[in-house]
């Protein structure tokens, strides 16, 4: 197991690169074609300890920071792989580590660290509320020593491959609380303990291989000690998870962008048309160079957001800006790479069309570009709110 706490970031990067060598493009292409979950890859990350880097040493993890997690995910993506199969375990940690009780950490973290328990599902989005999270309608109602949960989540990725889920619910009606963000509560629920038919998970077919689902709760009874923190205060707990999620996904986008820029520049240097490499034409060369510049600028913002998160500073704005810049950079790189490869970009064996589809997600999820612009426009620059 990876338990060398003094391992430097560079050593982590190199070790993850070696791990990814065992999972080349053919592996990811096959998962994509068969819409299958990359279990062998996830198991390799568990076995080497890289999936549990954020879990403190006392609970069996390596107690590293978000920067280490960013390096791991970025490296996976730079190799052409996809961390979406397991990144939720890293980003949900912020909610559990910062706001979970000692009992909850003792109960769950050792199993998650050793891989016998999977915390891969984050249930926030609902069909009717969309981005307007405070309008969720999934409820949790206290009943003796339990809570009873009813409602529906959508886009709950990896729910079928997870034992545990961090779940956002309403415990008080939106109309009866002082602010819409009040009255929301977060639970760490064990899906294995669901009574028959109380949790139904339905896969959604999508343009990418993301194991995403709809989850229906029908009188799902959970022990009261599944509640994280104080009832009704869950929105602020979930924000720690969301900031981590935005930063980690931004790191994945940087990996995607670096993968695509390299693909494009290698191809442009080799492919000869009209008797010379296409990369000699500035019409091909300059967009690739521009894409590289955008990517490296975005990477600096991701680093800043990650270091603010690690030092416990407020980092909502930085996490949002990092996600926006990185997802725009990876999308730009994907488009440039497609253009550079011409017709060959459409051949699956180059892994470009797959990355083009995969990286497009991040302009929409986990938070869309427009919502980030609105946050910066109103919260940072003080302009009037549109909603």
Ligand X SMILES: Cc1cc2nc3c(=O)[nH]c(=O)nc-3n(C[C@H](O)[C@H](O)[C@H](O)COP(=O)(O)OP(=O)(O)OC[C@H]3O[C@@H](n4cnc5c(N)ncnc54)[C@H](O)[C@@H]3O)c2cc1C
Judged by the rule CB under 6 A, the positions of this chain that interact with ligand X are 122-125, 130-131, 155-157, 206, 210, 212, 361, 364-368, 370-371, 374, 386-387
**What letters, b where the CB count within 10 A reaches 16 and e where it falls short, cover 283-308?**
ebbebbeebbebbeebbebbbbbbbb
Q: Please answer whether residues 218 and 291 qualify as being in contact, where contact means their C-beta atoms are separated by less than 8 angstroms.
A: no
Q: Which is nearer to ligand X, 155 or 331 (CB)?
A: 155
CB of 223 to ligand X, least distance (A): 23
| Nearest-CB residue for ligand X | 130
- Tell me the backbone φ, ψ of residue 291, rounded to 5 degrees: -65, -40
CB of 216 to ligand X, least distance (A): 15
Beta strand 164-170 pairing with 119-123: parallel
CB of 32 to ligand X, least distance (A): 13
Of 7, 172, 231, 245, the active-site residue reads 245
d(CA 238, CA 218): 23
Q: Which is nearer to ligand X, 59 or 155 (CB)?
A: 155
CB of 159 to ligand X, least distance (A): 8
CA neighbours closer than 13 Å in the CB half-sphere of residue 130:
4
Q: Which is nearer to ligand X, 12 or 90 (CB)?
A: 90
Report the chain's C-alpha Rg in angstroms. 21
d(CA 66, CA 16): 16
d(CA 215, CA 136): 14
Q: Which is nearer to ligand X, 292 or 323 (CB)?
A: 323
Look up 245 and say whether it is catalytic.
Answer: yes
By annotation, the residues acting in catalysis are 245
């Amino acid at each position: 197991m990876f338990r060398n706490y003094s391992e430097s970031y560079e050593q982590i990067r190199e070790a993850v690169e070696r791990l990814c060598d065992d999972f080349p493009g053919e592996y990811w292409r096959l998962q994509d074609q068969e819409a299958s979950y990359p279990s062998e890859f996830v198991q390799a990350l568990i076995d080497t300890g890289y999936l549990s880097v954020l879990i403190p040493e006392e609970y069996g993890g390596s107690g590293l920071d978000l920067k280490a997690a960013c390096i791991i995910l970025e490296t996976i993506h730079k190799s052409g792989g996809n961390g979406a199969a397991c990144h939720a375990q890293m980003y949900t940690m912020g909610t559990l580590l910062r706001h979970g009780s000692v009992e909850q950490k003792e109960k769950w973290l050792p199993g998650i660290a050793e891989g016998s328990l999977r915390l891969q599902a984050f249930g926030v989005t609902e069909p009717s509320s969309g981005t307007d999270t405070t309008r969720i309608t999934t409820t949790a109602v206290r009943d003796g020593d339990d809570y009873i949960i009813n409602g529906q989540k959508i886009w709950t990725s990896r729910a079928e491959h997870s034992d545990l889920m961090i779940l956002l619910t309403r415990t008080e009606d939106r109309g009866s609380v002082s602010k819409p963000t009040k009255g929301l509560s977060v639970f760490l629920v064990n899906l294995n303990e669901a009574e028959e038919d109380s949790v139904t998970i339905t896969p959604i077919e999508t343009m990418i291989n993301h194991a995403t689902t709809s989850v229906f709760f029908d009188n799902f009874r959970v022990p009261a000690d599944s509640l994280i923190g104080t009832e009704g205060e869950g929105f602020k707990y979930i924000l720690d998870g969301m900031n981590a999620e935005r930063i980690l996904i931004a790191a994945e986008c940087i990996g995607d962008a670096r993968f695509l820029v390299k693909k494009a520049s290698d191809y442009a240097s080799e492919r000869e048309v009209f008797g010379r490499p296409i990369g000699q034409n500035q019409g091909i060369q300059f967009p690739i160079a521009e894409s590289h510049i955008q990517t490296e600028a975005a990477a600096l913002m991701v680093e800043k957001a990650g270091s603010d998160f690690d030092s416990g500073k407020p980092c909502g704005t930085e996490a949002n800006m990092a996600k926006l810049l990185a997802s725009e950079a990876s999308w730009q790189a994907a488009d440039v790479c497609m253009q550079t490869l011409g017709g060959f970009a459409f051949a699956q064996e180059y892994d470009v069309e797959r990355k083009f589809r995969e990286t497009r997600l991040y302009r929409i999820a986990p938070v869309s570009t427009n919502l980030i612009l609105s946050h910066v426009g109103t919260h940072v620059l003080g302009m009037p709110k549109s909603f």
